[in-house]
């Protein structure tokens, strides 16, 4: 059972701009897992999806999923993500991918356009925080 409760979207603020995230997420006491920014590298360290933001987004979320599961959790335990993108158009172009992994009451989320990431081939990076089951 997740320590993350249903996302809070009070009527006193505008609803989330996308259905795959929440304005806020409340968690119960329990272990928190802070996940460093993940990029589109597979388990062998090979770049996945050169020049393809959608392939990179899928790999990044799969990496986050693997880390959460290795720590006894699931994607439903993700409480917050920060998405760094080289082109803010990703806000729209990867929305359906994020919705596939976070179909409802998703994590609190921010997306930020940056001028560069660690490698010039990286088109996005996602950092996350999960509230794991006790």
Q: What is the pLDDT of residue 106?
A: 87
Question: What tens digit of pLDDT does each residue of 52-83 get?
Answer: 999 999 999 999 999 999 999 999 999 999 99
pLDDT at 111 over 80: yes
32 or 10: which carries more pLDDT confidence? 32
pLDDT at 20 over 70: no
Q: What is the pLDDT of residue 85?
A: 98
Measured in degrees and rounded to the nearest 5, phi and psi for residue 93 equal: -70, -20
Q: What is the pLDDT of residue 15?
A: 76
Average pLDDT, the chain: 89
Tokens of 80: 């917050």
> Which CATH superfamily hosts domain 32-131?
RutC-like (3.30.1330.40)
């Amino acid at each position: 059972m997740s320590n993350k409760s249903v996302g809070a979207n009070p009527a006193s603020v505008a609803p989330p701009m996308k259905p795959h995230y929440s304005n806020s997420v409340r968690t119960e006491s329990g272990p928190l897992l802070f996940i460093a920014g993940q990029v589109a590298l597979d388990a062998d360290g090979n770049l996945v999806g050169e020049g393809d933001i959608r392939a990179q987004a899928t790999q990044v979320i799969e990496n986050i999923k693997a880390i959460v599961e290795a720590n006894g959790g699931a994607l439903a335990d993700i409480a917050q993500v920060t998405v760094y993108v080289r082109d803010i158009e990703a806000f729209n172009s990867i929305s359906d991918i994020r919705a596939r992994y976070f179909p409802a009451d998703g994590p609190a989320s921010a997306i930020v356009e940056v001028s560069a990431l660690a490698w010039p081939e990286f088109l996005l990076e996602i950092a996350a925080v999960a509230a794991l089951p006790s």
